[in-house]
Structures are given as C-alpha cells and as structure tokens.
Structure 1
Amino acid sequence: MMLRRQVLVRLTATAAILSLMLPLSGCSARQEAQPPQQEEPETGVVAIFTPADGLTISQHTPLNKWQELTPEISEALQDRGFGQEDIHIHTSDDLNRQSRDLQDYVVDALTPGEDDPKAEDITLVVAPAAETGDATRQYGDYVSGRIVWQDDAGDEGDDPSDGERSEDETRYVQAAQRMVTTLDLAREAGMTIVLLSNAIEGFAPDAFVQMSDAERIGTIQAQNMVDKLNLDATSVDNPKSIEVLLPSDAAADEESADDNSSEEAPQTDQASDEFAAAAFRGVWTVLAPYFKDGRAICPSGKLTAETTADDWRSVAFDASDEDGIRTELTGRLDMDDDDKDGHTRIDGVIAMNDYVASVVTDQLSELGYVGTSADINPSITISGIVGNITGRKDITKQPVPDPIKAPEETESPDDEADVEQINSRWPIVTGYGAYRDIIPGIVDGQQWMTALEDRLAISEDVAEVCARLDAGEPLDAIDGIGTTDMGGEKVPTLTEPLVAVSAGNLKEALIDPGYITLADAGL
C-alpha cells in the first residue's frame, strides 16, 4: 500500500511538472538559446551503523576502536566527493538497539520528503553489533565474526520464542531477524548494502569489508615469533621453549562451574569458543612443524609433537583478571614453588592480546627474568630503537649465533651459573590490539610485538566501495578484491593485511600515520 502511494505521488508530481512545461514551450522558441550548463554529478547518501565502543575488562584502550574509525571513514568519503551533510553516522549499544535504529532509518527513507534522497541513492554501511565475551573484547572492537540467528533451538523462519532459549537469547535472535528483514526491505527499495566486520546469517550484502579475524590474529603472532627466534635455523639439540596463553570464556565458565560445585558447567558462548579455536588454529598452523621436528618445545607440556589444531582447550585459560594470568604463567613455568632453585627457560610467550601480554611482562619481571626482547637475535639496540623513533640514526647489531647444543647442568658451579644465566633471559612476548599503555613497553623491549588493523586503509576501502556502488561501477576492478561465500552467494570482499608493530617499525607504523604521538610512546 505504501509503495502504491509513493508511485501515485511520483506520477502526480511528474504530471504536474509536464503541465507546467507545456505553456512555456511556446515561449522558448522566441528566447535566445542558452548553452547547456554542465552540472557536477551529485553523490548519494551514506548511512553508517556501527556498534558503540566495547570496554575491555582491564579498561585499557586499544587503538582498534569504532569511535576512531568512523571519523576516518567520513573523511575518506568526503575525499570521494560525498558531502558531509550526506554522511549519517549511527552508534548503538547492542544488536537490539542497532536493528531498531536501522529499521527506523529504512522506513523513514521509504517515505521521503521533498528534499530527502531517494532510496536508490542511499548506501547503508552496517557493522552488525555481534555479542562477544570478555576474552574476545580484549582484542579490540574490530574482530570479524558471524551473527548466527538460527540454531538448534529453531530453524530459520521459526518463532524465536520456541526451543530452549533464555530471554536474552530470544531477544538477540529477534534483533538479528529484524536486521535481516530490514536489510532485505532496503535492498528491494533500491538501497545498496555494505557489511563491515561482521557477517549476519541469512543476508548477502553487495560488498563486505572484512576486518581482523581470530585466525589471522594467531597467525601474525606466531609468524613474528618464528622470525624473531629464528626457528628455521634452530637445532633440535637446542630447541626453543614456547608457551601459548589462550584467553577463553569457555575456561572461565568451566572454572565458575567448578567453584559453584555444580554438576554441569554453564553453557558457554559458542561465538567465543569459535574465536578461541580459530585463534589457536592460526598459531598452530605456523608452529606445528617446529614442534613436530623438535625445534620447539613447551615447558608446561601442554603442547607436544602430537598436538593438533583442534587441541585449543589444552592451552585455554581464564584471563578475566590479572591474578589469574599471573597464576597461569607461574604454573606453566613451574615457578610456583618457593623452594625451586633457578628459572625455567622460556624463549617465547604468545599472549594473544596486549592485556594478557602486559600482565605477562609484569610477572616475568616479578619472577626475576632479566633483559629485553631486543637482546634475542638482535638487529637493533634499545638505544638504536629510541634513536630511530626520535629521528636519529639507527644503530644496528649483528645477531649472535645460538649454540647448536643446549647447555647441560653439571656439578661445576661455573657451568650451573651459565645455565641459570641462559634460563633467566627475557623471552619474546607477543600480543595484539596496540593498547596505548603498552606502547612504552614495546619501545623498551619488554613486549616484542603487537598488531592492529590498518584503519586508514580500511576507511579508504569503505569509501571506494561506496563511491563505486553509488556510481553503478563494478567492484571487481578494485585492486585486491576477493569474494566471500555468504548464504550461497559470492560477495565481493576487501581485506587489508594486519599491521605487525615492533620497536623497529613503530615510528613508521603508528606515529607517522597519526595513530599515536611520541608522548604515547613514552618519548
């Protein structure tokens, strides 16, 4: 009915315009012909819907925040010719609120006023507000996931109140269904839709801009660990000792169930489980060959040559507070016994995110480990790192070859001292998220590396996709574009590489683009 009324209004308006033109046509022949004026092509409207910034359990602030990204997308759109007044940004606390905000916007757009844009001139950029557990939020706001709104409790199209769902789960399913229905309605009206970061089951957009996913987060840390420890040149007679600390809401739920002495552990969040499993899969894809041939070992024994990519639970733990992280690391290193003499050798700790990494470095110092990550296979000194960041000349060093064989403990006091000196050396520690408060720790070598999204590149991607969709141009001409299978359709997809940041490239990766200042780096 609404559509018929719109068509009637447009036909009436068209007839009125034609009727006004007819009497004027007789006068036009007596007037001097004027050259046609060239009008600049007008761009359409872009409406951006993003979640509100998530809060990590530690209240530290990663650089991957929505409030940082949306202004950059707006600026990139304006560079592409979109007017500032034609860029509408909507922020919602959760999927329920977001789906209602989106629904209100689309319904209003289907009944435009005189000066309002037509539906076919509107591009919706939607980052669905997926629910995440505490462990997932530690990685920042952008981690890609998938909103699943049809599960064992009900198939697509079923009443979301059916099945074994809690009130919160029912509300979440209803919100997801509302969003899909709204997006379908928007597309039927002529709008184009770009999904950002999260996919939503039951809908295939015109384009998808993928952001960091769990597997890539695990892969980039493991690869930087391999490179820094020079595992390819490591001897099986002097293997490197590596631990993987995998934050997991599932582990937290299991511990909570044990504390409550319940017979059955509470149901864990499926999305968080999938995230932890995928993150470990990314790590193990890189590290598995070194564990299989003996060039890498695990002090706690949680990782072995027989470990598979499905064994993520073996290294998962509750990282919901600092005490839990400290206890986990101390136990892995078998240093919770006050009577233990000396240190357990540890060459690398994959801490998965910067919150865990910051607690790990504090605890390593508390346990008496000494040195910095820069001392391991050094290519640049700490003074050279600071010089590079502040604009002075780099000071480089040649890596010191690692002994082919591991030092053996003997009865000689001198030999025992040498072994303890090696065992107490500071390890490589990796994280993710580029938390502002850990950047000084990167500079001084306590944490070796972090990683983050290239926000400026993502903003340019979103702007280019919107501009092409608005102009009716194909997306397959964009450099680096691929496809993602969504609902049986191949959706054009843009993915930017994650940016690995260590002290050596911190200036180029974070300071020069304006992500942080010298003061943030502690300089």
Structure 2
Amino acid sequence: MTLHCTAMAKRLIALAASAGLLLAMGACSRSDDVSSAASSSASASSTTKDGNVVIFAPSDGITISQQTPLSKWEKLVPEIVSSLKSKGVDSRNITVRTASSLDRQSQSVQDYVVNHVTGAAKKTKTTLVVAPVANTTESDRQYGDYVSRAITWNDDSSDEDEQAYAQSAERLVSALRLAQDEGMKVVLISNSLQEYVPDAFVKMSDAEQIGMLQAQKLASKLALDKTSSDNPKHIEVLLPYDTTDESGQDIDATFAQSVFKGIWKVLGPYFKDGKAVSPSGKLTASSTDDDWRKVAFEATKSEQIRQVLAERLGMDKDRSSHTRIDGVIACNDFVADAVIAELSDLAYTGSAADINPSITISGIMDNIAGKHDLKKKAVPDPIKAPESDDDDESADDSGKDESIDKQNAQWPIVTGYGAYAGSMPSIVNGQQWMTALENRKAFAQDIAKVCVRFNASQKIDGLSFVKNTTVSGQKTPTVQEDALAVSAYNLKKTLIEPGYISLADAGM
C-alpha cells in the first residue's frame, strides 16, 4: 500500500509541476473549453451503478468554405451521449469537455484525472473517451474531423512551437497513464498518441484509405478491368496540399502523400498496363508513390482548383475543342465542387450516370423520392477509341470532327470525400459520382457499448465490431466500421433514411 501511494504521489507531483496545477486547481480551465454535465462534479453521481463517462473532444475546426463535411465533432459527440443514455447511463454521469488545442485539452484531461484521484469522495467506475486534438491544415480539414492520424512529437526539437507541442502531448499521455493506473479505462478516438496504448482504440479512415476508396469506386464505375489499352480511360488526380502554414513554415506532407499512396495502389497497375492515361501527362506508366508532388497543388480557393483543372485539360486558353476526361479524383468535396463548376463552364455535358449506365438520372430521383426501385441495365464500352477523319462529313471548316468533340465533351466521373450537405444535389444529378463519410451513427453506438462494458468491468473482445490491431506496438482492442461510400444509387438508404441528411438537403 505504501509503495502504491508513493508511486501515485510522484506521478501527481510530475503532473502538477508541468502546469502548476496544484497552485490554482480551480483556475486552470480556459475560456474555450466547454464542460457539460447535469452534475457539478464527477463524484456527484458516485452511487450510480453505470459509472461515469467523460468525453474529451476537439472543438470543430474552421473549414475554408461555408460548406462543411458531415463528419464533425459537433455531430458525433451528441450522438455518443444519446447512445449512452439509451443504454441506461444517467445523464448526470456523462460529462463533455471540448478544447481548441492539444495544450488546452491536455490541461483539461489532467485537471479531471488529478481531481478524480485526489478527491475524498467514493470512487466510481470511470471511462475517459478522448479524441486527441491534432494539428491539421486547411485542406486536410476538408475531409472531415475524424480522419485517423498518428500524433507524434520530437522531445529534442530546438523549435519553440514543437517543444510546446511535445510538452502538451506528453502531459496528455502522463494524465491518461495515471488514469489507467488508478483503475479508469481510456478509449482513444481516431488519433493515436506516440508510445501510448489505450484500453480501446476507435479507428476511423486514414488518409491512405480515403485515397483507395475513391480510386476503387472510380475503377469500378469506369470498368477499368474490362478496359482495353486501345481505348484507355483518361483520368486526372487533383491532390490538394498546403505547402506552408500561416506563419510560412513548411507543412508535413505525410497526409497528402498518404492520400496519393492509396490512390496509386489502385490506379497504378492500370496506368502501367496502358488501360489508364493522364490527359495532362503528369502521371504515366512509370509513375510511383514518390510522384505525388506532380499532381499536388495549393487548393485553398475554388479559383485555384478551377485554374489547375483547366490547365491540366489544356483548355485554360483555348476552349474551342474539348479534351477527353473520363474521371477526376478530386480527393474531397471542396475540390469536387470547384471541379464541377469548371467542367460546366468548359461546356462538358451529361452526367456520371451516362458512363457505363445502369439507370437514368430520372430513375435515380424517382427512387430517392420513393416512387420506384432501381432497375439495372448493362451497357458495353467500345474496345477501341473512335478515330478522327478530316474528310468525314461531320468535320467543320476548321477540320475538327464534331462527333469526336461531342464524345470528348461527355461529363466524367468525379469523386470526393466528406459528404458535404451542399454536395448532395450534385450527387443526385450525377455531376459528382460519389462521396464518402464515416459511419458516425454506428461509431456512436459502438463507443457507448464499450463504455458501458468497461464501467461494468466486462471485456469487449466479444463485440462484433471490435478487432485486435497494433497500437504503439501492442495489440489493442479496436473499434472499426467501414466508411460509407455514397452515390446517387444508395443515397436514400445510406444518408436519408438514417437521418444524416434530409430530402431538402438532397435537393428533392
């Protein structure tokens, strides 16, 4: 007993020294931290058998457009709370705290843990649900708040900002380890922490998976497996990437690199076999993962994206004829929205439903409105590309073959990610082929089940959505759900019926 108390005392002293906690315990909360609970303290409901659940989440990041992804913390946290209540957890036992930075979040977690450990009240089972605040760029935030990242730091850095970040991260890890030492359980959401192993990890899609998903859906819709090198598909990859932050410092390229790695894992073999080509020539049969910079560009403004697309298609100066483009991987819905606007200005026509069609746009809209079910019909793609003939009657005075240009002006497949509510009408009318988002409602239910089991001293290994993965070098129970890939064909079932969006959001 003496050894345990001594070890705990040392840990508390270390925590307190890092932030001056014991000098002003009640004054450590910051102005942008938000706490909510029916009780005024964690111990107020100590007699409740369900135990306490304390949620530490980031404040929602500000995105560069007025349109925002559906995967936002302000959406997930209330659904976790609602799921906990539906499973019998008293609202007085649920606390929510948000913070805008890792520094403030680590202070908040530390305050709670130390208060809980040193409090005189009878201790009750407690589970901490922590989504560590990650440093993200403007373009990264366009994918949504939940993208899984590994939060790492360098203890030996000479940069003052990096030193401060490392101190915040280490403070958070120390507080979470103390919580575990004192019998609390820790559920880490989305972002892992360097050399820290939680009791459970909630794995969201990472950058590479986001890239792979879009490439897979593009390859399927374009039927690349059946495509001939005599009639290759013309595909462009638009990879948004912020090169520097607001202070002019270089930004870590890991995220953008990983998105491209996922894309190229799927599309690389098709380019190598000649079944896919790039109209701009930026990607070739010999391209590798290291060529990601060739397709990366600054995408903080819609005008930048539109200009890049026009240049890639060779139509930034001369728009008299169209360049064939079968697919555009826009990476996120902010980029996709600008792509759609530019394609419209460049007079591309039709919709994604016209490519290897299985149903008409009118049929899709009727299905969403509940008028009838979808009926599929396969349409073959020609093995060889049409050839221009200047002597053909369809050629105009300039020698341009109008029939070829009409085919080249067909609307391409456009993919995105984030499921912006404002993008739904484009999904319905076929201008954007697909988007995707995390299965937020399923994750909320899963997290609530894990918390209830932890507070009841039960294992979670038997839950169907829990698999063992490696986190910081150790096997860890991990909550996983597949991302929801959304197109016009399944938008009703995937987004409208579960309540993610309304018919009005879909433009119906």
TM range (shorter): 0.7 to 0.9
Match of 2:240 among 247, 250, 254: 247
Match of 2:153 among 132, 149, 155: 149
Which residue of structure 1 lines up, in the alignment, with residue 250 of structure 2?
268
User: Measured at CA, do residues 513 and 41 of structure 1 come closer, stay the same or move farther in structure 2, by a change above 3 Å?
Assistant: same
Which residue of structure 1 lines up, in the alignment, with residue 304 of structure 2?
324
Counterparts of 1:499-514 in structure 2, within 5 Å, are 499-514=484-499
Instruction: Decide whether the 8 Å contact of 2:56 with 2:96 is kept in 1.
Output: yes
Instruction: Decide whether the 8 Å contact of 1:49 with 1:89 is kept in 2.
Output: yes
SS at match of 1:463: helix
2: distance between equivalents of 1:372 and 1:209?
37
Instruction: Decide whether the 8 Å contact of 1:45 with 1:117 is kept in 2.
Output: no
RMSD of aligned C-alpha atoms?
A: 2.1
- How big is the shift at 1:431? 0.2
Which residue of structure 2 lines up, in the alignment, with residue 101 of structure 1?
108
SS at match of 1:414: coil
Which residue of structure 1 lines up, in the alignment, with residue 260 of structure 2?
280
Number of positions where the alignment pairs a residue of Structure 1 with one of Structure 2: 462
Counterparts of 1:437-476 in structure 2, within 5 Å, are 437-476=422-461
Q: In the TM superposition, what whole-angstrom CA distance separates every residue of 1:94-113 from its partner, at most 9, and x where no partner exists? A: 11111111111111111335
SS at match of 1:249: coil
SS at match of 1:110: helix
Which residue of structure 1 lines up, in the alignment, with residue 119 of structure 2?
112
- How big is the shift at 1:302? 1.0
Instruction: Decide whether the 8 Å contact of 1:484 with 1:492 is kept in 2.
Output: yes
Which residue of structure 2 lines up, in the alignment, with residue 292 of structure 1?
272
Instruction: Decide whether the 8 Å contact of 1:380 with 1:394 is kept in 2.
Output: no
Instruction: Decide whether the 8 Å contact of 1:209 with 1:461 is kept in 2.
Output: no
Which residue of structure 1 lines up, in the alignment, with residue 33 of structure 2?
none
- How big is the shift at 1:398? 2.3
Which residue of structure 1 lines up, in the alignment, with residue 196 of structure 2?
203
- How big is the shift at 1:397? 5.2
Instruction: Decide whether the 8 Å contact of 1:124 with 1:192 is kept in 2.
Output: yes
| Unaligned residue ranges in structure 1 (runs of 5+) | 8-39, 155-162, 258-265
2: distance between equivalents of 1:459 and 1:2?
39
Which residue of structure 2 lines up, in the alignment, with residue 31 of structure 1?
none
Which residue of structure 2 lines up, in the alignment, with residue 11 of structure 1?
none
2:503 aligned with 1:515, yes or no? no
2: distance between equivalents of 1:480 and 1:97?
32
Instruction: Decide whether the 8 Å contact of 2:153 with 2:162 is kept in 1.
Output: no
Which residue of structure 2 lines up, in the alignment, with residue 408 of structure 1?
387
Which residue of structure 1 lines up, in the alignment, with residue 316 of structure 2?
336
- How big is the shift at 1:56? 1.3
2: distance between equivalents of 1:433 and 1:4?
48
2:223 aligned with 1:230, yes or no? yes
| TM-score normalised by L of structure 2 | 0.87
Larger Rg: 1
Which residue of structure 2 lines up, in the alignment, with residue 125 of structure 1?
129
- How big is the shift at 1:269? 2.3
Which residue of structure 2 lines up, in the alignment, with residue 348 of structure 1?
327
| Unaligned residue ranges in structure 2 (runs of 5+) | 9-46, 396-400
Which residue of structure 2 lines up, in the alignment, with residue 373 of structure 1?
352
2:433 aligned with 1:420, yes or no? no
Q: In the TM superposition, what whole-angstrom CA distance separates every residue of 1:154-201 from its partner, at most 9, and x where no partner exists? A: 1xxxxxxxx4203x3222121111101111111111111110010011
Counterparts of 1:32-181 in structure 2, within 5 Å, are 42-114=49-121, 117-118=123-124, 121-150=125-154, 154=156, 163-166=157-160, 168-181=161-174
SS at match of 2:174: helix
SS at match of 2:290: coil
Instruction: Decide whether the 8 Å contact of 2:446 with 2:465 is kept in 1.
Output: no
- How big is the shift at 1:476? 1.9
- How big is the shift at 1:4? 5.3
Q: In the TM superposition, what whole-angstrom CA distance separates every residue of 1:21-71 from its partner, at most 9, and x where no partner exists? A: xxxxxxxxxxxxxxxxxxx98211010000011121113121101011011
2: distance between equivalents of 1:47 and 1:174?
23
- How big is the shift at 1:212? 1.7
- How big is the shift at 1:79? 2.4
- How big is the shift at 1:409? 1.6
Which residue of structure 2 lines up, in the alignment, with residue 357 of structure 1?
336
1: distance between equivalents of 2:67 and 2:290?
31
Letter matched to residue 453 of structure 2: R
Instruction: Decide whether the 8 Å contact of 1:243 with 1:298 is kept in 2.
Output: yes
SS at match of 1:344: coil
Counterparts of 1:181-196 in structure 2, within 5 Å, are 181-196=174-189
2: distance between equivalents of 1:394 and 1:496?
27
Runs of 4+ in 1 over 3 A off after TM superposition: 1-5, 394-397
Instruction: Decide whether the 8 Å contact of 1:383 with 1:395 is kept in 2.
Output: no
Q: In the TM superposition, what whole-angstrom CA distance separates every residue of 1:93-146 from its partner, at most 9, and x where no partner exists? A: 1111111111111111113354x643xx11000000011011111101111101
2:476 aligned with 1:496, yes or no? no
2: distance between equivalents of 1:232 and 1:295?
8
